[in-house]
Structure 1
Amino acid sequence: MRIAIIAYDGISPFMLSTPLAVFGEPFVAGGHEVWVCGENSRVSATGGLSIDTPYGLEKAGAADVVILPGWRNADEAIPAEIIREISMAAERGAMVAGLCLGAFGLAEAGLLDGRRATTHWARIETFAARYPRVTVDPGAIFVDEGMVLTSAGIASGLDCCLHILARLSGSAEANRVARHLVLATQRSGGQPQLIERPVPASSADLRVARILDDLIANPTGVPSLDDLAERAGMSRRGFSRHIRAQTGDNLVAWLRRARVARAQTFLLEGVSGLDQIAGRCGFPDAKSLRQAFHTEVGVTPKQWQARQRLS
């Protein structure tokens, strides 16, 4: 897949590195072409840095995914050239993502009219007032509206990019990259922006992270909460607290997301028969899979599968 990342003067190196870490690092790369496209051959960055950009903005015209990683100031207009590239990308059917304040660029291009979107919590009110035709979700860490995605502030761009990667290559690949980046397993977009979620560091954190990885690999037969807590060497209450700290939710809700993510991978791979997929993902039947899918994704499995086809 060809992925264009738009760079601009005054860009935050962290915001630029967010999609690069997920799609472009040599040790995690999954075969995607990644193009950093700038207004000029060199752009300034915060901290006094300068960054060479190998491609001009026009290169984004050949990309399957176009990402605007933030913007330097919500009160400053985004250049018409960038807005034009974003608009043309959407017109030709490419996936477009605005990370953090990059959501302002997508809204300015009219791509968010009548859609849900989010941005950094500190600029939510500005965003909502400026773009009244957008349905603003102030709590989500990212919002997936099919071919248009937005993320909340700063680090949540990683969650959004991992979600995009899961759509392109399956949840197993997204979780593989997350592990290489020493991130907790992929969070769903509906989790709150201001969650306290420390990076796993203690031995207890790492034991819980390994248990979550095992559950992702095989979500069909799950021990009880008490059994998992004993395996982690914790009390039931302590284990539940660690689960919430790492995933933002309780075990039941997180496991439902993990099972839906596994079902998404099977759908991307072309596995047929919802009953078969349900059984391989830990759901009792296709009806339960459909209900969980609608709860987590907002659409049916068939609808979700149809919108994954990128032109």
Structure 2
Amino acid sequence: MAIPVIGLFVYPNINPFHFSIPHIIFNIKIDDKLLFDLKIFSIDGQPVKTDQSIMIIPDGGIELMKESDLIIIPGWDDFNRKPEQLLIQELNWAYQTGIRIVGLCYGTYALAYAGLLDHKKAATHWMAEQDFSERFPQVHLDRDALYVEDQRVVTSAGTGAALDCCLYLVREIYNAQIANKVSRVMVIPPHREGGQAQFIEQPVAKSSQDAQINLLLDFLRKNLALQHNIEDLAERVNMTRRTFTRHFKKATGMTLVNWLNTERIRLSCELLETTNLSIEKITELSGFNNTVSFRKNFREKYGTSPQAWRKSFGITSNNTQPYLT
């Protein structure tokens, strides 16, 4: 079976880091097999110079979009610059034919200029949110999301969030097991909780209390099956309840309850996709009180049941790529 084809667009003055993230993720081999067929393309197929005077030699021109299963616009060099009319036309053609379109970081601007985000949810770097909202009031900008998908158009926040977004795409195309393998190769977490809010004012935890919270998060991830309450956790890190609540929200962008629920749902997805454990056992290992609560939370998150999720993404699913078995 042919592996998915990824079309990665390059343009003059592209930021090398914006280019390198999807280039690395979609070039990774698992068990000595490529997951994707990555095609780099420019408007005319000619080499382009990055903003650091590095030359990128593409595989071809814009015609490669027609061979792609997914198209990525990695960043954008100038908020005031509209994409070439040819690129706008081809992006709209690709979207209408069912191809998934991705804008990483400021690449959201290119998709918005092309009209692909009209009346859809989108994300971009928090530093551009005011400018973006003024230029594109018809787009529903999520100011906190690390990445958003709405009707086959995927957008991400800053350059770091592009990694989260690309891992999300690997998981969507394959499954959690493959995405986790890719994350281990990259030495990054398969999923980050919280949104951009945790990075805007204080990207790096500077106090010893924040460092304690980070250690606590590792403990909680390893003990999701246990029940936790704020008082016990606050005592564990030698804080008052009020101080603990404040520092936890600052470190994660979420309340303790929401963070635990998100991590438990994430773990349950992994267990559904990679094991044959019963729903009752997954409920127990994920830390939910009972299967009714588990099913309710799962449906609220994904709009489907755990059984349906396993049928779609589990190790015995027809959607699992035989190429990787």
TM-score by length of 1: 0.76
Q: Is the 8 A contact 2:194 2:252 kept in 1?
A: no
Alignment of 1:30-45 (within 5 A): 31-33=34-36, 34-39=38-43, 40-45=45-50
Cα 1:52–1:207 shift into 2, 3 Å: farther
| Equivalent residue, structure 2, for 1:160 | 165
What is residue 15 of structure 1 aligned with on the other side? 18
How far, CA to CA, are the matches of 1:250 and 1:22 in structure 2?
31
Q: What SS does structure 2 have at the residue aligned with 1:254? A: helix
Counterpart among 169, 174, 183 of residue 178 in structure 1: 183
What do residues 89-135 of structure 1 show as CA deviations (whole Å, max 9, x unaligned)?
A: 32222222111121122223332222111212232233223323211
**Structure 2 residue aligned with 1:4, among 7, 10, 34?**
7
Deviations 1:167-187 (A, max 9, x none): 233344434433443434522
Closer, same or farther: CA 247–168 of 1 in aligned 2, 3 Å:
farther
Match of 1:196 in 2: 202
| SS at structure 2 position matched to 1:55 | coil
Question: In the alignment, what sits opposite 2:137?
Answer: 132
The runs of 5 or more residues in structure 2 that have no matched partner are: 314-318, 321-325
How do 1:140-289 residues align onto structure 2 when only pairs under 5 Å count?
Answer: 140-184=145-189, 186-188=191-193, 190-192=195-197, 194=200, 196-198=202-204, 212=218, 219-221=224-226, 235=238, 247-265=252-270, 278-289=283-294
Aligned length: 304
- Is 2:62 the partner of 1:57? yes
* SS state at 1:18 partner: helix
For structure 1, which runs of at least 5 residues remain unmatched after alignment? Answer: none
Letter in 1 for 2:10: A
Identity of aligned residues (%): 29
Is contact 2:123-2:142 (8 Å) kept? Answer: yes
Q: In angstroms, what is the RMSD of aligned CA positions?
A: 4.2
* Structure 2 counterparts to residues 94-133 of structure 1, below 5 A: 94-133=99-138
Structure 1 residue 14, shift from structure 2 partner: 0.5
Report how far residue 24 of structure 1 moved: 1.9
Deviations 1:166-219 (A, max 9, x none): 3233344434433443434522474425163449xx9x979957973x865774
Describe the SS at the equivalent of 2:148.
Answer: strand
How many Å separate the matches in 2 of 1:157 and 1:115? 19
The CA deviation string for residues 251-277 of structure 1, in whole angstroms up to 9 with x for no partner, is 543332222223334565697986665
State the shift of 1:164 in Å.
2.0
Per-residue CA shift, 1:208-260, capped at 9, x if unaligned? 57973x865774346777988999xx646799899767644455433322222
Q: Secondary structure at the match of 2:268?
A: helix
Aligned amino acid, residue 5 of structure 1: L
Larger radius of gyration, structure 1 or 2? 2
| Distance in 2, Cα, partners of 1:285 & 1:72 | 50
